[in-house]
Amino acid sequence: MDDKILDWVLPAEKFSQDGDPDSMQAVAREIFALDKNSAEGLAIMAESSLYLGNLQEAETLAQYALAVEPNHLRGRLVAGGVAIKNFKLKAQLQILEGVITDAHKELKNLREQLRKHNRKFAFNLRRRTSEDTAFEKQLDKKNFIAKSLLFKALCWSSNGLYLTGEPARASQALFEASSLTENKSLAAELYSKHLFLRNYRDASQAQTKELAQKYNSFFAEIAPFRHDKKFFDADKKIHVGYISPDFREHAVANFIPPLLQNYDAENFSVTCYSTGKSDFVTDKLKKFKVDWRDLRGEETPTAAEIIFQDDVDILVDLSGHSQDSCLPILAYRPAPVQICGIGYTATTGLATADYFLSDKICSPENLPTNFTEKILRVEPCNLCYEPEFIREMPAPELRAPVLKNDFLTFGCFNNFAKINEDLLYLWRAILERVPHSRLILKNKICSLDEGRELVKEKLSKMSFPLDRIELRPYSPDYLEQYRELDIALDTYPYTGGTTTCEALFMGVPVITLRGKTHASRFGASILSAADLSELIAQNSMDYIQKAVKLSRRKDLLAAYHVGLREHVQHSALTDSKKYIHELEKIYRSLWKDFCKN
């Protein structure tokens, strides 16, 4: 690349990082003044068009750039970005994988050039000339640009990998991307997403804990708020704060009302700190007798300052490492006692997160744990389900589908990323042992033509009987479609939460496999709280056997479909008064311990 053009590419890349596509176009025009056929100029113009939403223009310009220089990194990156916008899963993954590979090669080549350049001074002991300095500066610029392109390719590819059921690869891409940006808040966000995606597959507990603890390095320069000058009274009215980006139409919102509707107002005051979007669910939550703070758009230090000034005693984070995490706010320790749980199923690793909400099923005392937080056991379950808060639930199918179909229908409506090969082998074994049975998979990847093709290819390689598999796209009427299932099959090791609760409320029994970690025992906890322990498998073989045995008990299936909803409504899983009472006892105990110590 010509040095004069390179000098323009550097600001173009910085404008890209700043989200300023108009300035990128201005730079591209400067490059065209130097070389009207510049592949770099065309690619920069294409990238800016992509950000502006002009997909056809972006695609055309990227193709022009690749016609000038077939392996041009930025041109290929933009082509991958266009494929993402057009939902071309195979193309985007293939293109971005190539960009990542070649960007690594470019960075390796630049390191080698710098090494050879530096050897001249090591062996000849000569001084650097102005030409040497200029050469080194140009290498630095090329290195910055190559890293920036690699960063974008890694971030973009992670979304496609996650959607297509490759969470481990997506997690690794985000891990690498987090090390390539100098923006600490962005690096922390990417590393947080990396930790979240690790939950989708089995992993060493020791390694999980170690990686989670490294999250603290992003907040090393933060000086947490001090609470030692405040007056602490063990018997005071405790101010509890709940913080989340998901006080809205979101899976977590199914478990928030029990925290707000029956709390002891004489001994506790409650404030909700919302960091996310608002919608009709937010409006419903605001009707509870709690204080409300909208922190959306506030900088992290400002949000933490607001909570600190509100004199919150116990701050409960409901997001963990999920999307739009609030953990960076907790890193400032705006409250003297801080708890995580409900919206996340693994350790946060955050040093300022003191406790984690769990229960005796998810975290039995005799089972080793990878949590950095102290475990709080809420009995009988760490969450409480509030059916019909977000929307009115349709009536269940009171007649088990097998009674009218003469074949058994299994199903799973969980995220496809939760479905791994080991689990698919279990499902295949179940289908083999239940003649003429069907399996319905319903999730977002099945909403795309290429997505369904990818799923079919995966199942075909594992010798699944594709004529007995039905792939359904996500749809707003997904609850009604539970009426077509006889038995729901839970995922493993990342079990369902909301999906399990919804299936039960729609009259569908759920077979789950209890593992050895909090996340892999989450389904077992829900079923235990619903007094349905007979549906909990202890190992893989037991999982198969329970599904097969239940499929043969048409009388039992009929009973489940008729009575499950009422059964759940009268179980501990939905007993919000008992749940908040147990939780408040824990809050009071924690506060007394804090005041004493």
> Could you report the per-residue pLDDT of 436-456, keeping only the tens digit for each?
999 999 999 999 999 999 999
Between CA 48 and CA 10 the distance in angstroms is: 15
Residues 312, 295 contacting (CB under 8 angstroms):
no
What is the pLDDT at residue 597? 81
Q: Identify any residues that bridge with 340 across adjacent strands, giving them in sequence order.
A: 317, 356
Contact residues for 188 (Cβ-Cβ < 8 A; gap 6+)? 178, 215, 218, 219, 328
Instruction: Express each pLDDT in 220-260 by its tens digit.
Output: 999 999 998 677 899 999 999 999 999 999 999 999 999 99
Q: Which residue shows structure tokens 């009707």? A: 287
Of 415, 477, 408, 476, the residue nearest 441 (C-alpha) = 415
Lowest-pLDDT choice from 4-13, 146-155, 326-335, 450-459: 4-13
Residue-averaged pLDDT of the chain = 95
* The predicted structure's pLDDT at residue 123: 64
- Tens digit of each residue's pLDDT (9 = 90 or more) over 158-190: 999 999 999 999 999 999 999 999 999 999 999
pLDDT per residue over 31-57, tens digit each? 999 999 999 999 999 999 999 999 999
The pLDDT of residue 124 is 61
Q: Which domains can be identified in the chain, with CATH numbers?
A: 3-163 (1.25.40.10), 238-388+577-596 (3.40.50.11380), 401-574 (3.40.50.2000)
The answer to whether the peptide bond before residue 493 is cis (omega within 30 degrees of 0) is yes
3-state secondary structure of 199: coil
Q: Residue 156 carries which side chain, given as an amino acid letter?
A: W
Band (125; pLDDT cuts 50, 70, 90) = low
Residue 570: per-residue pLDDT: 97
Mean pLDDT computed over 519-542: 97
Out of 117-131, 172-186, 368-382, pick the least confident: 117-131
Give the pLDDT mean for 283-310: 97
H or E element in which residue 469 lies = strand 469-473
d(CA 165, CA 419): 7
Q: What is the mean pLDDT of residues 78-102?
A: 96
- DSSP 8-class letter at 424: H
The mean-pLDDT minimum among 201-205, 309-313, 418-422 falls in: 201-205
Distance, in Å, from the CA atom of 443 to the CA atom of 457, rounded to the nearest integer, reads 16
Q: Which residues have C-beta within 8 Å of that of residue 274, sequence separation ≥ 6?
A: 244, 245, 247, 282, 292, 293, 294, 295, 296
Residue 508 pLDDT > 90:
yes
CB atoms < 10 A from the CB of 366, how many?
A: 4
**Per-residue pLDDT for 130 more than 90?**
no
Q: In degrees, to the nearest 5, what angle opens at C-alpha 101 toward C-alphas 100 and 105?
A: 115
What is the percentage of the chain residues whose pLDDT exceeds 90?
Answer: 91
Two structure tokens written together for 296: 């959306």
- Please check the confidence at residue 513 and state whether its pLDDT lies above 90: yes
Q: What per-residue confidence (pLDDT) applies to 3?
A: 77
Q: How confident is the model at residue 345 (pLDDT cuts 50, 70, 90)?
A: very high
pLDDT on residue 126: 64
| Residue 169: its H or E element | helix 167-178
Confidence of residue 279 (pLDDT cuts 50, 70, 90): very high
Task: Check pLDDT > 90 for residue 27.
Answer: yes
Name the β-bridge partners of 211.
none
Q: Distance between CA atoms of 389 and 282, rounded to whole angstroms?
A: 11
Q: What is the mean pLDDT of residues 564-578?
A: 97
Assess contact for 357 and 342: CB atoms under 8 A: yes
Say if pTM beats, i.e. exceeds, 0.85: yes
Residue 122 has pLDDT above 70, yes or no: no
Say whether pLDDT at 312 is over 90: yes
Average pLDDT over residues 133-153: 92
Strands (E), 161-265: 238-244
